[in-house]
Amino acid sequence: MLNNKLKLNPKIFDPDIPEVPIRNGFGEGLLFLGDRNANVIVLSADLTESTRTESFAKKFPDRHFEVGVAEQNMATVAAGLGISGKIPFIASYATFSPGRNYEQIRTTIAYNNANVKIAGHHAGVSVGPDGATHQATEDIAIMRVMPNMKVFVPCDAIEAKKATIAAASIDGPVYLRFAREKSAVVTTEETPFTPGKIDLFWDSRKPQVAIIVCGLLVYKALLAAKELEKEKIGVLVLNNHSIKPVDEKTIMKAAERTGAIVTVEEHQVAGGMGSAVAEVLAKHHPAPIEFVGMRDTFGESGPPEALIEKYGMSVEDIKTAVKKVILRK
Amino acid sequence: MVPIHDEKLKYLEETANKIREKIIEMLLEAGSGHSAGPLGMADVFTAFYFHILRHDPKNPLWPDRDRLVLSNGHICPVLYASLAYAGYFPLEELMTLRKINSRLQGHPHRGTLPGIETTSGPLGSGLSQAIGMALTARLDKKKYRIYCLMSDGEHDEGNVWEAVLFAGKNKLSNLTVVMDRNNIQIDGFTENVMPLEPLREKYESFNWHVLEIDGHNMEQLVDAVSEAEAIYEKPTLIIAHTIPGKGVSFMENDFNWHGKPPNKEEAKEALHELRTLGRRIQSEHE
């Protein structure tokens, strides 16, 4: 059953659940910060509308810098701003930032420990028609291996706003990952968001499997949990919005309670959120794991839902993984 | 900025020579590192740390200090030696360059050593960091100036030209770049590896003010920096024509000395040459 303590969206299982692009929350978070903190600066690389920095740019023109299609310059200018006392946010598609400017981020932001927030948009195959060139499916892996870097993947627009605001209060580099397409709003303003803490969204009396999930697939994991409940299979659904720092305690506790794990992410299975979970469990509490995600392949053009299905991340795929991992116990 | 009077000039030249000697000693002790660039830029660094910069070595994080950003981090022996002579940390520490547990990393790292404004080494990303600092100064209505020291070879990097465009667009008059135009990079002469000229016209067309000086003439450098300070709504590039390996005749203008240290014999010869001021005086000074 849904964890009522977290005050999730009561309409979560209604067919007319409101849908909002997760990236909208980033834009709202920036506006919130802009009003309250004069040190917050935003840099855009010719994508103000689609990365939702447009409203900030209009409201705070002196604190918004358009760098043009130049992600390497964007990251390094932000590094200079960050080490001289500002709190810069840089926004582009994740395939370009942190994709194209990876070394600049590594040296001038992470190693430099510069106070820069990197917003990677258009994550996952749910980007849709633009195709694989614009669908980031490796960004969690490349960012979580960087020393000093923190990595947050919000599950909906409301959580995206909270993650954006939280990032500003962290002194140091942060990577934020956002999806493009409209997706179900599963949380409310009252739902807690604490960096470094996994939230238990769905609980069962005798859970057999813990589903650990991030991003817009959290909603699909909840749908899967509800359907599995009808089949008398109890699961946990854990929203792992903080991939780094990793919440070892909650992951271990979930493994102790269930003895089997399914990880779900719109990202390569290799090196992603599931790998981070596996690293914790292999060390502290070995348990069978099934990984739902991209299997060493690029995406392609198509409707978002159809792509999620084609690449094996649908509600059905999550249910199949749960049943499969139970057999491995 | 005050011009350099004769007595000060003599002091600066002696300091530059001491820094060159220290560079040779550091590189010999480290057993790896770059020789030509640090020697070639010793006069520019001396002029900055002992005349141009408003800074306080006893208070390295003084908020109103001028910032000196070294973009081509591989010439850091000259930066480290300048910082030590200026009083940021003890001279003896210079001999720990590139050793384990040292604050003197092979390429500069912010936070480990006082006086290092930013992390650099991978080429082409110093100018944009200096730009970020210049934006902060402007937003905070601060008077401090930002100086970025760059190499010519790193102008092969796309990131540099992205930054040059951006600084021109934003009319960053509080930013001055000094380019070490020594004509060499690892694989050979810059104009053979990847032709850069005409550099002056390139920068001017990107809305920069451009000056050219003899990079071993500190009076010219100080005059150029003063002029840059007076320029309105444009960043300034000072192209400093330097001799790589300057002061050690067998290293001068030879790209083979770009990325290697002297061995014991070579260091002895180099130090003798520096200490006798190019064999102009008989005895070695100490």
Residues 6+ apart with CB under 8 A from B52: B1, B66, B147, B221, B222, B225
Between chains, do A83 and B139 touch, taking CB under 8 Å as contact? Answer: no
Q: Select from A161, A275, A164, A157 the least CA-distant residue to A212.
A: A275
Length of chain A: 329
Mean pLDDT of B84-88: 98
Beta carbon pairs, A and B, within 8 Å: 102
Between chains, do A77 and B139 touch, taking CB under 8 Å as contact? Answer: no
- Active-site residue list of A: 71
**pLDDT, position B2:** 86
User: CB contact, 8 Å: A103 with chain B?
Assistant: yes
pLDDT in tens, A166-209: 999 999 999 999 999 999 999 999 999 999 999 999 999 999 99
Task: Name the residue ranges covered by the structural domains of chain B.
Answer: 6-275
Instruction: Identify residue B7 by its one-letter amino acid code.
Output: E
Task: Name the residue ranges covered by the structural domains of chain A.
Answer: 19-184, 196-327
**Are A19-184 and A196-327 in the same CATH fold?**
yes
User: CB contact, 8 Å: A146 with chain B?
Assistant: no
pLDDT in tens, A154-163: 999 999 999 9
SS percent in chain B: helix, strand, coil, step 5: 45, 10, 45
Tell me the chain A residues in contact with residue B67 when contact means C-beta distances shorter than 8 Å: 84
User: CB contact, 8 Å: A63 with chain B?
Assistant: yes
Domain covering B6-275, topology: Rossmann fold (3.40.50)
Calculate the alpha carbon distances from A129 to A100, A126, A186, A303 in Å.
21, 9, 25, 6
Report the sign of the C-alpha dihedral through residues A275, A276, A279, A281, in that order: negative
Q: What is the ipTM of this complex?
A: 0.94
Between chains, do B131 and A72 touch, taking CB under 8 Å as contact? Answer: no
Residue B228 token pair: 């840059």
Mean pLDDT of A283-294: 97
Tell me the chain B residues in contact with residue A108 when contact means C-beta distances shorter than 8 Å: 118-120, 125, 129
Residue A326 token pair: 């139970």
Chain B, nearest residue to A69 by Cα: B162
Does residue A37 have a pLDDT over 80?
yes
pLDDT in tens, A232-281: 999 999 999 999 999 999 999 999 999 999 999 999 999 999 999 999 99
**pLDDT, position B283:** 64
Task: Determine the distance in angstroms separating the CA of A66 from the nearest CA of chain B, rounded to an integer.
Answer: 9
Between chains, do B129 and A65 touch, taking CB under 8 Å as contact? Answer: no
User: CB contact, 8 Å: A65 with chain B?
Assistant: yes
**pLDDT, position B285:** 61
What's A19-184's CATH class? alpha beta
Q: Among 3.30.70.20, 3.40.50.720, 3.40.50.920, 3.30.70.2740, what is the CATH number of A196-327?
A: 3.40.50.920
Does residue B69 have a pLDDT over 90?
yes
Q: How far apart are CA A159 and CA A117, in angstroms?
A: 16
